[in-house]
Structure 1
Amino acid sequence: MKLKGLSALAGVLLLTTVMSACGNSNNNEGSTATNNSSTTTDTTTNTAATNDTSTNEAATNEPAAPAANDKEFTIRVGAWFLDDRPHMVAFKKAVEEGYAKLYPKATIQWDVVLGATYFDKLKAQFASGSAPDVVFYQGVDFAKSGNLLDLSAEPWVPRLNDGGQKDFQTHADGKTFGVPMGLSIGGGVWYNKKIFSDLSITPPKTTQELFDAAEKIKGAGKTPITLGFKDQWTAQLFFTNWMSSYQLSDPTLGKKIYNGEVKINEDPTIQKVYSNFETMKSKGYFNKNAISIDWPQSGQMFASGEAAMIVQGPWMPGANADNISKGGFEPFDIGYFPLANDEGKVAMGLGSNEALGINAKTELLQESKDLINLMTTQDIISPFMKGDGALTSFTDVTVKYDDPAMDAVQEAVANSTVVTSNITSYIPASATTNMLDLLTKVVSGIKFNPDDLKAAQSSFEKDKATVTPPAE
Structure 2
Amino acid sequence: MTAHRMRLAALSAGAGLALAAMVSGPALAEEVTLSFLIDNGPQTVAAAEKVVEAFMAANPDIKVDIETRPGGGDGDNIVKTRLSTGEIGDVFLYNSGSLFQQINPQKYMVDLTAEPWQADIQPAFQNVVTAGGKLYGAPFQTAMGGGVLYNKKLYADLGLQVPKTWAEFMANNEKIKAAGKVPVIQTFKDTWTSQLFVLGDFFNVQAAVPSFAEDYTANKAKFATTPAALKGFEHQAEVFKAGHLNKDFGAATFDDGLRMLASGEGAHYPMLTFALGAIQTANPDAVKDIGFFALPGDDAAKNGLTAWMPPGIYISNESEHVDAAKKLVAFIASKEACDLQTAAVGATGPYLVKSCALPADVPPMVSDLQAYFDKAGAAAPALEFVSPVKGPSLEQITVEVGSGIRSPAEGAALYDEDVKKQAQQLGLPGW
Normalised to the residue count of structure 2, the TM-score between the two structures is 0.78
Gaps (5+ residues) in structure 1? Answer: 1-68, 101-105
User: For residue 375 of structure 1, what is the aligned residue in structure 2?
Assistant: 332
Whether the 8 Å CA contact 1:223–1:285 is kept in 2: the answer is: yes
Indicate if the aligned counterparts of 1:349 and 1:421 stay in contact, CA closer than 8 A.
no
C-alpha contact (below 8 Å) 2:140/2:313 kept by paired residues: yes
1:398 CA drift (Å): 1.7
Greater Cα shift, 384-393 or 214-223: 384-393
1:391 and 2:350 are equivalent in the alignment: yes
Separation (CA, whole Å) in 2 of partners of 1:223 and 1:259: 41
Shift of 1:258: 5.0
Map of 1:5 onto structure 2: none
Mapped contact 1:228–1:292 kept (Cα < 8 A): yes
Is residue 112 of structure 1 aligned with residue 73 of structure 2?
Answer: no
What letter is aligned with 2:289?
D
Structure ID, larger Rg: 2
Q: 1:227 to 1:97 in 2, by over 3 A?
A: same
Judge conservation of contact 1:77–1:133 (CA < 8 Å) in 2: yes
**How many angstroms apart in 2 are the aligned matches of 1:130 and 1:311?**
35
Which of residues 388, 391, 410 in structure 2 aligns to 1:428?
391
One-letter amino acid of the counterpart of residue 121, structure 2: L
Question: Given the superposition, is the C-alpha separation of residues 373 and 241 from structure 1 closer, same or farther in structure 2, using an over 3 Å criterion?
Answer: same
- Residue 125 and residue 210 in structure 1: after superposition, are their counterparts in 2 closer, same or farther (change >3 A)? closer
| RMSD of Structure 2 on Structure 1 (CA) | 3.3
In structure 2, stretches of 5+ residues that fail to align are 1-24
Question: Retained in 1: the 8 A contact 2:288–2:364?
Answer: no
Cα distance in 2 for partners of 1:290, 1:185 equals: 24
- Whether contact under 8 Å (1:427, 1:467) holds in the other structure is no
Q: Provide the residue aligned with 2:116 in structure 1.
A: 155
Q: Are 1:417 and 2:373 an aligned pair?
A: no
For 1:348, the equivalent position in structure 2 comes to 306
1:347-375 Cα distance to aligned partner (Å, 9 max, x none): 4122122x122233444343332232233
- Bigger proportion of residues as helix: 2
Please give the secondary structure, in 2, of the residue aligned with 1:248: helix
2:147 maps to 1:188: yes
Matches within 5 A, 1:90-109: 90-100=50-60, 106-109=61-64
User: Residue type matched to 1:147 in 2?
Assistant: Y
Equivalent residue number for residue 164 of structure 1: 125
Asked if the contact 1:75/1:108 (under 8 Å) is kept, the reply is: yes
| Map of 1:35 onto structure 2 | none
In structure 2, what residue type is equivalent to 1:112? E
For the 8 Å contact 1:425–1:469, the answer to whether it is kept is: no
1:75 paired with 2:33, answer yes
Change (3 A) 1:312 1:420: closer
How big is each residue's C-alpha offset from its partner over 1:261-285, in whole Å with a ceiling of 9 and x where there is no partner?
Answer: 4444333223333333343333332
1:206 corresponds to 2:169? no
Report how far residue 320 of structure 1 moved.
Answer: 2.6
CA distance in 1, matches of 2:409, 2:84: 43
Displacement of 1:257: 4.3
Aligned with 2:67: secondary structure?
A: strand
Aligned residues of 1:74 and 1:107 also touching (Cα < 8 A): yes
Report which stretch shifted further, 246-255 or 307-316: 246-255
Separation (CA, whole Å) in 2 of partners of 1:83 and 1:282: 31
Query: Match for 1:349: what amino acid?
Result: A
| 1:466–1:342 Cα change, 3 Å | same
Match for residue 440 of structure 1?
402
Q: Residue 307 of structure 2: SS of its match in structure 1? A: strand
* Secondary structure, aligned partner of 1:341: coil
Read off the aligned partner of 2:391 and give its amino acid letter: P
**Contact (CA 8 Å) 1:125, 1:131: kept in 2 or not?**
yes
Distance (Å, rounded) in 2 between the aligned partners of 1:217 and 1:194: 12
Q: Is the 8 A contact 1:188 1:337 kept in 2?
A: yes
Would you say 1:227 and 2:183 are equivalent positions? no
The partner residue of 1:286 within 228, 231, 245 is 245
Is the contact made by 1:245 and 1:341 (CA closer than 8 Å) also made in structure 2?
yes
* Separation in 2, partners of 1:298, 1:315: 14
Instruction: State the match for 1:358 in structure 2.
Output: 315
Q: What SS class does the counterpart of residue 156 from structure 1 fall into?
A: helix
1:12 is aligned to: none
Fraction of identical pairs, as percent? 21
Distance in 2 between residues matched to 1:187 and 1:298, nearest whole Å: 16
Matches of 1:136 and 1:263 in 2, distance apart?
Answer: 31
2:293 aligned residue (319, 331, 337):
337
1:249: how far off?
0.8
Q: Deviations over 1:177-215 (max 9, x none)?
A: 111123322522111111111222221122122122222
Residues 321 and 365 (structure 1 numbering): CA distance in 2 closer, same or farther, change over 3 Å? closer
Aligned-pair distance for 1:134? 2.9
- TM-score, structure 1 normalization: 0.71
Structure 1 residue 380 displacement after superposition: 2.4
How far is the alpha carbon of 1:235 from its aligned partner?
Answer: 1.3
Deviates most, 192-201 or 139-148: 139-148
Q: Which amino acid aligns with 2:208?
A: S
Instruction: Say which SS state the counterpart of residue 155 (structure 2) adopts.
Output: helix
Q: Deviations over 1:388-425 (max 9, x none)?
A: 72421111122326523211111123332312425985
The equivalences for 1:305-320 within 5 A come to 305-320=264-279
| Preserved contact between residue 163 and residue 183 of structure 1 (Cα < 8 Å) | no
What are the residue-to-residue correspondences of 1:52-67 with 2, within 5 Å? none
The CA distance in 1 between the partners of 2:203 and 2:390, in whole Å, is 15
* 1:3-49 deviations in Å (ceiling 9; x for gaps): xxxxxxxxxxxxxxxxxxxxxxxxxxxxxxxxxxxxxxxxxxxxxxx
How many angstroms apart in 1 are the aligned matches of 2:288 and 2:78? 41
Shift of 1:332: 5.4
Does the Cα contact within 8 Å between 1:217 and 1:224 map onto a contact in 2?
A: yes
What SS does the corresponding residue of 1:439 show, helix, strand or coil? helix
